[in-house]
Structure 1
Amino acid sequence: MTETRTHLIELGDGLRVSRQGYGGMSLSDVYGPVTDDDALRTLTHAVDAGVTFVDTANIYGGGRSERTVARLLRTRRDQVQLASKFGILTGGGIGRRGIRGDREYVREQIELSLSRLGTDHLDLYYQHRVDPNVPIEDTVGALAELVAEGKILHIGLSEATGEEIRRAATVHPIAAVQTEWSIVSRDVEAHVIPAVRDLGIGFVPYSPLSRQWLTGLFDAAALTEGDGRPKFPRFAPEALAANRPVLAEVLDVARDADVTPAQLALAWLYDKGRALDLPVAPIPGTRFTERVDENLAAADIALAPEHVARLDALAGRVVGARSANPQWVSAGRE
């Protein structure tokens, strides 16, 4: 553990978090089976290693992720910047769920999350997906009420468009925008990144390792029944086959740079943050303590310009959408 890895950065609205967070979707079975005790062990190891930014959501494992985080918070609440989310309805599965962003739902869900998490406030509360039937100003207005009541300290948005982010910020300061961003998912650079830079908002890339694919360790044959990845178009057999040359290039750059593929993918994001003067805090998730350490080491890696250039050339070659429903991600509505 080094000072660099555990150094806090400021996102927006004064929210300070560790340079790398922990993505709590992995505390459920969506990327492979994990027991509650093993999930807690990995999460605790992440916090012991210097991660202070813990990200979860009401939908992850039907509340299971939040309940696991609660076990950590019993003794570590003051060491963690805690983020959760609302907005995606249960039922239907990936790509077929509904979205709600009305005031009644916001207020209902914050109470349920706080109860599961065993805390009286969240440091950051995201609108997980934008409700097409509710103006974003109304949703952020409801969140602003929660700020005034002390139930949340900061407001975040996930998969909002550049325009939606700008509209939201007229109602209340936005601390963070969380959207998929990686070597192979770069659509946010067109509209979302310019908006957050203009408004002084921090960026939290989710799926920075493209749901394990960028690590080179993804094995479609090993997937269990509850794994959610086959529901994403990019994980269809024909897309995986078409994208093998892209992955081969990633793995080759990693060998040239003498880092692991996961470290390469995370270091690429940190490089982009420096180049854009944008505070970036990726939130890779994992079920394994050794992967936590591997991921954290990426914060100390400076990639050579020629390696960055090779990686920059890859996104346009990728086959398959990153979302099962294009309207659920910012690029589908821009």
Structure 2
Amino acid sequence: MQRRILGRTGPAVSALGLGAMGMSGAYGAADRTESIATVHAALESGVTLIDTGDFYAMGHNELLLAEALRGRDRDSYQLSVKFGMLRGPGPEFGGHDSRPEAVKNFLAYSLTRLGTDHIDIYRPARLDPAVPIEETVGAIKEMVDAGYVRHIGLSEVDAATIRRAHAVHPIADLQIEYSLISRAVEAEVLPTLRELGVGLTAYGVLGRGLISGHWPAGHRAGPGDTRGFSPRFSGENVEHNLALVDALRRVAEAKGCTVAQLAIAWVAARGEDILPLVGARTRERLAEALPAMDLNLTADDLAEIEKAVPPNAARGDRYPSAFMSSLGVGN
């Protein structure tokens, strides 16, 4: 497994990371035994960065990872944890809380659930409009100084917020959606990251499965699958978007790889400062994703990919309308 450094000040991590959210029911029921086996397979393949959030099934994901990581050398992997998103006992979200006292409270819970004495990268899941980012980052900096956190990250914020946060403490990386069908970061955010020496951890590289090559036409999200509320998976939008996947499949077949591998490789090829996260829930999907990091895309390949899926070609917002206002950039 190749290695990449997250920004100028961040840790050296595997060039491909594992996103664990789907192991806690975000895309419908997940198999606990298979999820743990997938984490083990990722580690054995050289993946070191594992991403989670304390609100993924309200701690379930952290407890699952604690079980999967038990007995492993703590220096052999890195944990990236998001915090601050408020939930109720049902499916509803209750906003964000990134006050300094909340930062420390959330961190204490995560350390306990994960069974660790430190978090490698700790980040607010979204910008709290009621709390200046300087106060939030300042509180995490205190936890860095105390040894509970190694690096500070951000998630889904705009260029101006990145600059303000970085002025308080060096930011290792920004976690944000980036894929062939989500390219808004390229306009302003990505140039700002590169100016400041901040890495980009890209989630949603397969568009939550939409551009994986595994979402069949006519398929509908099942119970508990949040994609049932996604504009990109609804009605005429999904038909249009799957036509883009068909065009991408032709490029993949000519390259001798799968659609998913091509989509992951495209993100990885955008720069050494970009690290793709794959949300594999099974060993089968992980095994498909891993070879993408060895896929060499030529200038001709990239041109064919751009022709198949031009910028802004996808239809539908990447989140339901109620969530779009909390994002630093759009689609």
> TM-score w.r.t. structure 2 length?
0.93
Whole-Å Cα distance in 2 between the matches of residues 258 and 332 of structure 1?
A: 33
AA matched with 1:8 = R
Once the two structures are superposed, what CA deviation does each residue of 1:124-152 show, in whole Å capped at 9, x if it has no partner? 11111011111111110111111011110
Q: Percent identity?
A: 39
Shift, 1:223, TM fit: 2.8
**AA matched with 1:7:** Q
Q: Which moved more, 1:287-296 or 1:258-267?
A: 287-296
1:65 to 53, 61, 67: 61
Q: Does 1:291 align with 2:289?
A: no
1:110 aligned onto 2:107? yes
RMSD: 1.8
1:260: which partner in 2? Answer: 258
* Higher share of residues assigned helix: 1
**SS, match of residue 60 in structure 1:** coil
Q: What SS does the aligned partner of 2:175 have?
A: strand
Give the aligned partner of residue 317 of structure 2. 321
> Shift in Å at residue 319 of structure 1?
0.8
**2:4 aligned counterpart, secondary structure:** strand
8 Å contact from structure 2 (residues 19, 51) kept in 1? yes
Q: Which runs of 5+ in 1 are unaligned?
A: 1-5
1:11 to 3, 6, 15: 6
| Contact 1:125–1:154 (CA under 8 A) maintained in structure 2 | yes
- Counterpart of 2:211 in structure 1: which amino acid? L
Is 1:173 the counterpart of 2:170 in the alignment?
Answer: yes
Q: Spell out the pairing of 1:1-334 with structure 2 (5 A cutoff).
A: 6-12=1-7, 13-76=9-72, 77-91=74-88, 96-219=93-216, 221=219, 223-273=221-271, 278-313=272-307, 314-324=310-320, 325-332=323-330
Q: CA deviation at 1:92?
A: 8.3
CA contact (8 A) 2:222 2:228 kept: no
Distance change (3 Å), C-alpha of 1:95 and 1:266:
farther
In 2, Cα distance between equivalents of 1:100 and 1:332: 22
Determine if contact 1:28/1:64 at 8 Å carries over to the other structure. yes
- Match of 1:263, SS state, is helix
- C-alpha distance after superposition, 1:279-330 (max 9, x if no partner): 1111101111122122111111111222212323423221101122222222
Do 1:20 and 1:282's aligned partners in 2 also have CA atoms closer than 8 Å?
yes
Q: Is the 8 A contact 1:32 1:227 kept in 2?
A: yes
Alignment check: 8 A CA contact 2:182 2:312 kept: no
1:95 Cα deviation from its structure 2 partner: 8.2
Q: Structure 1 pair 97/210, CA: closer, same or farther in 2 (3 Å)? A: farther
> Which digits, 9 at most, give the CA deviation of each residue in 1:24-73, with x for residues without a partner?
10211112321222211111111111101111110112211111110122
Contact 2:199 2:274 in 1 (8 A): yes
Alpha-carbon offset, residue 88 of structure 1: 1.0
Q: Distance in 1 between matches of 2:10 and 2:239?
A: 44
Inter-partner Cα distance in structure 1 for 2:215 and 2:92: 21
- Whole-angstrom CA distance in 1 between matches of 2:37 and 2:269: 30
**Counterpart-to-counterpart distance in 2, 1:88 and 1:156:** 15
The range that moved more, 176-185 or 87-96, is 87-96
Q: Which runs of 5+ in 2 are unaligned?
A: none
State the SS of the aligned residue for 2:131.
coil
Deviation at 1:99, TM superposition (A): 1.1
Q: Equivalents in 2 of 1:206, 1:14: separation in Å?
A: 18
Q: Which moved more, 1:44-53 or 1:76-85?
A: 76-85
TM-score (normalizing by structure 1): 0.92
CA distance, structure 2, for counterparts of residue 308 and residue 230 of structure 1: 31
Residues 178 and 205 in structure 1, CA contact (< 8 A), matched pair in contact too: yes
Q: Secondary structure at the match of 1:22?
A: strand
Decide which moves more: 119-128 or 215-224.
215-224
Q: Is the 8 A contact 2:34 2:283 kept in 1?
A: no
Provide the C-alpha distance between the structure 2 equivalents of 1:250 and 1:163, rounded to a whole number of angstroms.
34
- C-alpha distance in 2, partners of 1:32/1:298? 26
Which amino acid letter does the alignment assign opposite residue 44 of structure 2? D
Partner Cα distance (1:38, 1:44) in 2: 10
Give the number of the structure whose residues are more often strand, by fraction: 2
Number of equivalenced pairs? 324
